C-alpha cells in the first residue's frame, strides 16, 4: 500500500492568507482543495510538498453568482455542484458536460473547479510509482533531465488533462487570481496555460485561483466530447470543446479547443472558419463534407505522442470525431439567451453556498 509522506497542514483563514503562505514557503508549499489529484500524487512521490495550505473550506471560494458581466464560479465549488446546476446547464451546457465527465461521483463530490483548472499534466512515464520511475532513471517532469517520450525535446511533453479548461477557453472565460498581498488580477483562461508539461501554468507560485468568470451566454451554444477508454474514472485521452454563436439560423462564430493532445489545451478555432456564415441546417442536415473538412483541419496541429493510454494515432483520429460530434451537439442546442442575472434568479446572485 502506498503511504503519504509526512507533511504539515495549515488551514488558511482566507484567500489572501493562503497566497501569503505560498509566497512565504516557496516550492515547499502547495494549495490543496479537494485533494483528489494532489494526494495520490504525493503518495507516488510525484509531488513532494512539505506544507499543504488548505483552501477547500473557504466560503469566499464557494459561490456561484450572476451579474450582467456573466456568471462567476468560486474556485472551491465542487464539480458535482456544477454538474447538478440546471441553470448552469442551460446557460453553459458544454461546461456542465465537462464537469460531469470528470472521473467518478465520489471524486466529483470532493474535486473543485479551481483544482480542475490547475490539475497536473499527465504522462505514462510520470504517472507511476516512485520505484518505477527510479528504475527508469526518472524523467524531465520530475527528478530527471530527459523527456522519455521525446528524448530530443527541450520541454516536457506531459499532456493537459483538465476536462473543464478547454470549455472555459472556448467560452472566452477569464480566471481571477489573488496574489500574496491580496491583490487581484484577471486573465483569459487560455493564458493560464503554457506549452510545457512541467511548468504548465503561467500563474505565479504565490497566486491562488479565486474564481472562474464565464461571459454572458449571449447566444453561445457549447458542447464537450471526451475521448477515453471507459465511460467513468478515465482522464481525457483526447477531446474537443466547441462554442458556437449564431445570428438567427446563420453561424456567426465557432471556437474549437482540443484537450489532451499536448501540454496545454490547443485552440484550433481558425479551423472553424468555413462554418462562419453558413446556415446551422447545413451542419445538422448533413453537409458531411463540410464538417469532415473542419474536423480534419482542427486536428492537424495536434501532435499526440505515445505517452497516454491507447495508441496515439487512434487518439488523434478519435479527437477528429470528437470535433465533429461536439459541433453537431452544439448546433442542436437551443441558443442560450437572456441576462444571466435573470436566468439565475435572486438566490444565486451573490450567494455564498459551499458545495
Of 230, 4, 304, 265, the C-alpha closest to 118 is 265
Q: Is 265 in the site for ligand FAD (CB under 6 A)?
A: no
C-alpha cell at 289: 463534407
Q: Is 209 in the site for ligand FAD (CB under 6 A)?
A: yes
Residue with the CB atom nearest ligand FAD in the bound state: 115
| Binding footprint of ligand FAD, residue count (CB under 6 A) | 32
Q: Is 176 in the site for ligand FAD (CB under 6 A)?
A: no
Q: Is 243 in the site for ligand FAD (CB under 6 A)?
A: no
Candidate segments 103-111, 315-323, 324-332, 345-353, binder of ligand FAD by CB under 6 A: 103-111
Of 190, 222, 225, 231, the C-alpha closest to 323 is 225
Please answer whether residues 150 and 84 qualify as being in contact, where contact means their C-beta atoms are separated by less than 8 angstroms. no
Residue with smaller CB distance to ligand FAD, 66 or 227: 227
Q: Residue 192: helix, strand or coil by DSSP?
A: helix
Residue with smaller CB distance to ligand FAD, 192 or 297: 192
Q: Is 115 in the site for ligand FAD (CB under 6 A)?
A: yes
Candidate segments 108-116, 123-131, 272-280, 299-307, binder of ligand FAD by CB under 6 A: 108-116
Give me the sign of the Cα torsion angle 89, 91, 96, 97: positive
Candidate segments 100-108, 139-147, 246-254, 323-331, binder of ligand FAD by CB under 6 A: 100-108
Instruction: Output the smallest distance, CB 125 to ligand FAD, in A.
Output: 18
> What does the per-residue mask of binding to ligand FAD show for 218-237, with x meaning CB under 6 A?
---------------xxx--
| Residue from 12, 16, 19, 30 in contact with ligand FAD (CB under 6 A) | 30
| Residue from 29, 36, 95, 256 in contact with ligand FAD (CB under 6 A) | 36
Q: Residue 305: helix, strand or coil by DSSP?
A: coil
Residues ≥6 apart with Cβ < 8 Å to 167: 92, 94, 95, 97, 98, 222, 224, 241, 243, 257
Please answer whether residues 324 and 331 qualify as being in contact, where contact means their C-beta atoms are separated by less than 8 angstroms. no
Residue with smaller CB distance to ligand FAD, 32 or 66: 32
Residue with smaller CB distance to ligand FAD, 55 or 268: 55
Phi, psi of 97 (to 5 degrees): -55, -45
Torsion, Cα 315 316 321 322, to 10 degrees, reads 70
Separation of alpha carbons 54 and 45, rounded Å: 20
Residue with smaller CB distance to ligand FAD, 96 or 209: 209
Separation of alpha carbons 133 and 125, rounded Å: 7
| Residue from 91, 119, 156, 299 in contact with ligand FAD (CB under 6 A) | 119
Residues making up the chain, counted from first to last:
355
Adjacent-strand bridge partners of 241: 224, 257
Q: Is 241 in the site for ligand FAD (CB under 6 A)?
A: no
Q: Rule CB under 6 A: which residues touch ligand FAD?
A: 30-38, 40, 55, 75, 79, 102-103, 107, 110-112, 114-116, 118-119, 161-163, 208-209, 233-235
Amino acid at each position: 500500500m502506498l503511504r503519504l509522506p509526512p507533511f504539515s497542514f495549515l488551514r488558511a483563514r482566507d484567500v489572501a492568507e493562503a497566497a501569503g503562505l505560498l509566497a512565504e514557503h516557496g516550492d515547499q508549499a502547495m494549495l490543496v482543495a479537494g485533494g483528489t489529484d494532489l494526494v495520490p500524487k504525493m503518495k507516488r512521490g510525484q509531488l513532494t510538498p512539505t506544507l499543504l495550505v488548505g483552501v477547500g473550506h473557504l466560503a469566499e471560494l464557494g459561490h456561484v453568482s450572476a451579474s450582467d458581466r456573466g456568471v462567476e464560479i468560486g474556485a472551491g465549488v465542487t464539480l458535482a455542484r456544477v454538474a447538478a446546476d440546471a441553470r448552469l446547464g442551460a446557460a453553459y451546457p458544454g461546461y456542465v458536460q465537462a464537469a460531469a465527465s470528470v472521473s467518478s461521483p465520489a471524486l466529483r463530490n470532493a474535486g473543485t473547479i479551481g483544482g480542475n483548472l490547475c490539475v497536473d499534466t499527465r504522462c505514462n512515464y510520470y504517472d507511476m510509482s516512485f520505484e518505477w520511475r527510479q528504475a527508469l532513471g526518472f524523467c524531465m517532469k520530475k527528478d530527471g533531465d530527459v523527456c522519455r517520450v521525446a528524448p530530443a525535446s527541450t520541454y516536457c511533453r506531459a499532456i493537459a488533462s483538465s476536462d473543464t479548461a478547454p470549455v472555459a477557453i472556448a467560452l472566452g472565460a477569464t480566471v481571477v487570481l489573488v496574489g500574496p498581498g491580496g491583490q487581484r488580477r484577471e486573465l483569459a483562461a487560455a493564458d493560464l496555460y503554457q506549452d510545457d508539461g512541467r511548468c504548465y501554468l503561467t500563474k505565479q507560485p504565490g497566486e491562488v485561483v479565486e474564481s472562474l468568470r464565464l461571459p454572458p451566454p449571449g447566444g453561445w451554444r457549447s458542447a464537450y466530447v471526451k475521448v477515453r477508454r471507459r465511460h467513468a474514472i478515465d482522464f481525457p485521452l483526447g477531446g474537443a470543446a466547441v462554442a458556437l454563436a449564431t445570428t438567427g439560423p446563420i453561424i456567426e462564430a465557432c471556437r474549437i479547443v482540443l484537450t489532451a493532445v499536448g501540454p496545454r489545451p490547443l485552440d484550433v478555432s481558425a479551423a472553424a472558419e468555413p462554418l462562419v456564415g453558413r446556415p446551422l441546417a447545413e451542419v445538422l442536415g448533413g453537409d458531411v463534407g463540410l464538417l469532415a473538412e473542419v474536423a480534419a483541419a482542427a486536428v492537424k496541429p495536434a501532435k499526440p505522442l505515445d505517452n497516454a493510454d491507447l495508441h496515439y494515432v487512434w487518439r488523434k483520429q478519435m479527437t477528429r470525431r470528437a470535433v465533429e460530434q461536439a459541433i453537431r451537439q452544439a448546433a442542436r442546442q437551443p441558443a442560450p439567451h437572456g441576462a444571466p442575472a435573470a436566468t439565475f434568479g435572486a438566490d444565486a446572485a451573490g450567494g455564498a453556498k459551499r458545495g
